[in-house]
Amino acid sequence: MAGLALRICKPGRLRTIMSSSVQYRTAASFQHDKAYVNGKWIEAKSKKTYEVLNPSTGESLGSVPDMDQADVKDAINVAYRAFQTWKKTLPKERTAILKKWYDLCLANKKELAKLLTLENGKPLAEAEGELLYGAGFLEWFGEECRRTYGDIVPSPVASKRTLVIKQPIGVAGMITPWNFPNAMVTRKAGAAIAAGCTVVLRPSEDTPYSALALCELAEEAGLPPGVLNVVTSGRGNAGPIGKELCENPLVSKISFTGSTAVGKILLAQSASTVKKVSLELGGNAPFIVFDSADVDKAVVGAMSSKFRNAGQTCVCANRILVQEGIYDRFIQALGKAIKAQIRTGDGLNPDTTQGPLINSRALEKVDGLVKDAVSQGAKVIVGGSKDERGGNFYQATLLADVSTEMRVVKEEIFGPVAAAIRFKTEEEAIEIANATTAGLASYFFTSDIAQAWRVSEQLQYGLVGVNEGIVSAVESTFGGWKESGLGTEGGKYGLSEYLELKNICYGGIV
């Protein structure tokens, strides 16, 4: 193959270099102990650091800078200066960089996935799936930025001509979560950079390494200094950094994925400078199985929707609503599938299908929800307690005879617990499903086409899966209704979050 060469990097280790730009490395080589600002790897001004722990073993993976408000203010100034140049680049130029970034992510997929598993805990196969999904946003937005068309508006006055153009909004401040430490960065930053914006991003304190690894590959792809800046910090500095991003007048846009409670704080803080805000917040997804459903297909959908990433996704099925005619059969089939398919363990073990929860706080929350449900009459079909291996592991759990008054129904579980509720009629199911302030994802299974139309239109959610447990795609919109958020990500609409409309009127034509 043209351009292929082999060289020895260290004794006993081969590094393969293809086309002089695509490098194959180890997960350790992607693990940076510095933040990334203005194209440089830097420490915190205070020199402080904090440790990042492997949620599977509890061992330290290393440390990264514990930056504060002064550090992020510097990063904002850098991004603002870089924006003055980056906004003038041609969409075609941005496309080339994003496409190269995409290629580099794919070329290093396995090592990036291993790093992701080490800091997040999800099984390696899931991590590789996230890498493919995440890289897809770089490719998609790289293509979409060449289609940011405007309009010629028919003028009501003979002497005037009116047109509408789209221009990048400016510096985008971003805060990303730990459950998708790669894809949430690319879905946000990929769109902003494609639109001509610059980025200051704080990744979750639990999973900073995947974001920093993306910076390394972005630089190799030719992204100029200052366009992408990643500041790391421990939990204690998260609030001050978020406040600076929201209130700094040089930041024009905020994008946040995380809890509803934090999202409300950021929204309030952004009001002082009237920023454009995108929020992807908590969910409480109903998963409805009607009597007409194919039970086997519904079980497959429930397994993929509920137990992916140990139930730690905002679109996970949270409330399993099953119509009384098939309730017992579905519960039996789902319990059997959980026992047969879920193998809890370290994510690097190829046999593992469910990793740990992210930390001890998450473990105690999930355990508390299950204990509350059982104390009120819920029946444990499978699991129901912390895993015998200890640490942050929790058993894949199925609860039956759950009522709508239990905490496990009212709160977002964010863990491997399926809580099943019996219902009688379609109207009852829709009423239960919509009786929440959340409105992100929803799912239902039916073989009745008329019912499929009725229910999909009546569910008050931004995402609806009909006979399908996984609905997210790079090409489609992703956003919540009600208190699950503002704005949208992905698809052709995701780029619009980083663009402003400008009306230009030319006079004196005749």
Instruction: Please give the full DSSP string across 88-130, using - where no structure is assigned.
Output: TS-HHHHHHHHHHHHHHHHHTHHHHHHHHHHHH---HHHHHHH
Is residue 298 very low, low, confident or very high in pLDDT (cuts 50, 70, 90)?
very high
Task: Supply the pLDDT for residue 510.
Answer: 86
Chain centre distance of CA 142: 19
Express each pLDDT in 75-93 by its tens digit. Answer: 999 999 999 999 999 999 9
User: pLDDT tens digits, residue range 364-390?
Assistant: 999 999 999 999 999 999 999 999 999
Helices then strands, each counted (H, E), the chain: 15, 23
Query: In which band, very low, low, confident or very high, does the pLDDT at 15 lie, cut at 50, 70 and 90?
Result: very low
Give the residue numbers annotated as catalytic, written as ranges.
280, 314
Q: How large a percentage of the chain has pLDDT more than 90?
A: 95
Is the entire prediction scored with pTM above 0.75?
A: yes
User: Which pLDDT band, with edges at 50, 70 and 90, does 7 fall under?
Assistant: very low
Q: Which residues are CB-contacts of 433 (< 8 A; sequence separation ≥ 6)?
A: 286, 288, 319, 321, 442, 459
Q: Provide the phi-psi class of 382: left if phi over 0, else alpha when psi is between -120 and 50, else beta.
A: beta
| Residues in Cβ contact with 466 at an 8 Å cutoff, skipping those fewer than 6 apart | 443, 444, 445, 446, 452, 455, 456
- Average pLDDT taken over every residue of the chain: 95
Where residue 102 falls among pLDDT bands split at 50, 70, 90?
very high
How long is the chain?
Answer: 510
> Amino acid identity of 272?
S
Query: Residue 10: what pLDDT?
Result: 33
Percentage of residues of the chain with pLDDT beyond 70 = 95
Contacting residues for 205 by C-beta, under 8 A, at least 6 apart? 50, 52, 178, 232, 233, 234, 235, 238
Q: Assign 24 a pLDDT band (cuts: 50, 70, 90).
A: low
Closest CA to 429 of 293, 282, 281, 260: 293
Query: Residue 284 in contact with residue 433, Cβ under 8 Å?
Result: no
Q: What is the pLDDT of residues 283-297, one digit of tens each?
A: 999 999 999 999 999
Cα separation, 404 vs 402, whole angstroms? 7
pLDDT for residue 1? 32
In terms of C-beta density within 10 A (0-12 exposed, 13-18 middle, 19 or more buried), how is residue 110 classed?
A: middle
Torsion of CA 395, 401, 404, 405, to 10 degrees: -80
φ and ψ at 90, to 5 degrees? -75, 145
What DSSP line would sit under 362-383, residue for residue?
HHHHHHHHHHHHHHTT-EEEE-
Task: Name the helix (H) or strand (E) containing 66.
Answer: none
Least confident of 14-18, 65-69, 98-102, 238-242: 14-18
**b/e per residue 34-47 (b: at least 16 CB within 10 A):** bbbbbbeebbbeee
Contact 286, 319 (CB under 8 A): yes
Exposed e or buried b for every residue in 186-220, given b needs 16+ CB within 10 A? Answer: bbbbbbbbbbbbbbbbbbbbbbbbbbbbbbbbbbe
Q: Does residue 20 have a pLDDT over 60?
A: no
**What is the mean predicted confidence (pLDDT) over 129-154?**
97
